Amino acid sequence: MSSPSSPSPFRAGFGKVPPTLAGRSKIIRAFAEAIEVGAWGSERALLVRGLRGVGKTVLLETLRRQAEDAGWVTISETASDGFVVRIMNKLREAITLRQPSGAVKISSIGIAPIGHIGFVHPEPSDPPATLEGLVEKLAGLVEPTGGILFTLDEVSAATMKEFGVFAGSLQRSISRDHEIAMICAGLHTDIATILRDGTSTFLRRAHNENLDFLSWEDTLDAISTPIHAHGRTISPDALDYAARATQGYPFLTQYIGDKAWKENQNEQNISLADVKTAARLSKRQMGANIHEPALGRLSIQERTLLAAMAQDDGPSAIAELRQRLGSITPQHLNNIRSKLVDAGIVYAPQRGKLDFALPYLRDYLREHTVTDAMNATGADLAKARAAFPPPPTDL
């Protein structure tokens, strides 16, 4: 058991595996069964989609470690430009490590004046030049006791052409009964775009996992278990406050847990005051790490709809949003709404209503005066700008 001053057991950074991976046990068990040699479960081709901060990268890393423990070779990459070439280089390295060197043959024996023995060391064969050939070569070296797992993070529509090459090569190798598995992770919209693309049709048969927020019970577990396991306690009111503050969002669960742990680290018990301080810090961090990047991917029309929603304290009525947005047609509003739903920014809690999916996004929009700007007419804005001094030149 650790002392109260021991390091925080929480992992607030992106992609870091937390001590308790709450709410994902079903996926982990299914993947373990899928990679049993000869099992060929549907989870061998796995698409993981979800919002920023719900733990996609963490899940990829957890499943990668699981495969390595089972004797599989793992090749992990981020799906940015040139990822196919990087994967090919990693395959070559893996082949070189596992390729048998061959028998060393005696070429000559000398007796006088000084005895000697000459050896011939065979040169290893060059790896194949194509992605498909490299996969075939490595598969032949690791089977039948293991296989190859490819994990691809941050899948994006921007590299769709490369992704088609990658997916096509794996599909052909899988059709030859090689022990191969693939896990791809990305945002909702990017995964949906790739699935619609004709170059990766076999992915439509892949197993889809939509990483959602944690349940109330899983959230309580994710906060309390690491605290107790590392020698400290948390009061019931503090635990309740922390769990409610996270809204079940995995990023907030780790961030609030980490900051609460560090607030008064030499105290045995984590108090309600510690948690309240951590929650305030986490709300600001959400803006920089989650809200700002998410809004940056949206069009002006999509952000305008969100600003209209931010005027409400709860779910917004679509009929009222139409009035606030002026002359927008029902079809146009529906198109914008659909894009925001696909992106995981908003959701429909009931028919005719919209609400924010990301915790504290309403507060973020209000604090950044998007709503105030939207309420003003063009004339009001022009008048306000003319009466206001220009910004400092060194700003």
pLDDT digits (tens, 9 = 90+) for 323-350: 998 878 889 999 999 889 888 899 888 9
Range of weakest confidence among 1-15, 16-30, 43-57, 376-390: 376-390
Predicted confidence at residue 321, as pLDDT, reads 93
The stretch 383-394 carries a mean pLDDT of: 47
Predicted confidence at residue 336, as pLDDT, reads 93
Predicted confidence at residue 125, as pLDDT, reads 60
Predicted confidence at residue 371, as pLDDT, reads 45
The stretch 221-249 carries a mean pLDDT of: 94
- DSSP string of 69-130? HTT-EEEEEE-STTHHHHHHHHHHHHHHHHS---PPEEEEEE-SSS-EEEEE-PPPPPPPSS
Band (pLDDT 50/70/90 cuts) for residue 15 is low
CA distance 44 to 179: 9
Band (pLDDT 50/70/90 cuts) for residue 195 is confident
Predicted confidence at residue 101, as pLDDT, reads 64
What structural domains and CATH numbers belong to the chain?
25-95+125-210 (3.40.50.300), 217-293 (1.10.8), 298-377 (1.10.10.10)
Predicted confidence at residue 394, as pLDDT, reads 43
Above pLDDT 70, what percent of the chain?
Answer: 83
SS3 392: coil
Predicted confidence at residue 362, as pLDDT, reads 94
Q: Is the pLDDT of residue 374 over 60?
A: no
Range of weakest confidence among 40-44, 62-66, 312-316, 376-380: 376-380
Band (pLDDT 50/70/90 cuts) for residue 373 is very low
- From edge to edge, which strands make up the β-sheet containing 148-153? 73-78, 148-153, 180-186, 45-49, 207-210
Mean pLDDT of all residues belonging to the chain: 84
Band (pLDDT 50/70/90 cuts) for residue 201 is low
CA dihedral 277, 279, 280, 281 (to 10 degrees): 90
Q: Is the pLDDT of residue 103 over 80?
A: no
Buried b / exposed e over 257-291, threshold 16 CB at 10 Å, is bbbbbbbeeeeeebbbebbbbbbebbbebbbebbb
Give the pLDDT confidence of 104-134 residue by residue, as tens digits: 444 444 454 454 555 444 455 666 789 999 9
Q: Is the pLDDT of residue 388 over 50?
A: no
Q: Is the pLDDT of residue 139 over 60?
A: yes
Give the pLDDT confidence of 58-76 residue by residue, as tens digits: 999 999 999 999 999 999 9
Q: Is the pLDDT of residue 1 over 60?
A: no
The stretch 201-218 carries a mean pLDDT of: 85
Placement of tokens 């406050």 in the chain:
241
Predicted confidence at residue 204, as pLDDT, reads 78
180's CB contacts (< 8 A; 6+ apart) are: 44, 135, 139, 147, 148, 149, 150, 170, 173, 174
